[in-house]
Amino acid sequence: MAFNHYAKIKRIIDQEPAGWIIRRIDEPTSAKNFRGEVVNFTHYYRIYDAADQPIKYCKFQQIERLAKALEVSVEDLPVTT
C-alpha cells in the first residue's frame, strides 16, 4: 500500500481535540507526486490546534483531497485565512 499523506492527517486529526482550524497560506510551495514529478502550487494549507499552534505533519496543498479523506465536503471544513 502506498503512503497517503492525507490518510496520515486524518489519523492525526481524529486524535485531536475539537477546535482545530485550517489556515490557507498564500505562499508558493511545491510537492513531489508518486511519479516523482514536482508539482507547483500557489498556496498551501496548515492545520492549527485549539491553542493556535501548528499541528506536526498537517501541512498540505489540496483541500479537496483532505475533505475526501475526512469524508466531508470542502465547505464543511473550518478554513480561515
Whether pTM > 0.85 for this model: the answer is: yes
Grid cell 493556535 is found at 52
Q: Range with the lowest mean pLDDT among 7-16, 32-41, 70-79?
A: 32-41
Q: Give the DSSP H/E element, type plus range, for residue 13.
A: helix 5-15
Query: Residues, the chain, total?
Result: 81
Tens-place pLDDT, residues 46-68: 999 999 999 999 999 999 999 99
pLDDT at 1 over 50: no
Indicate the pLDDT class of residue 31, thresholds 50, 70 and 90: confident
Mean pLDDT to the nearest integer, 16-45: 94
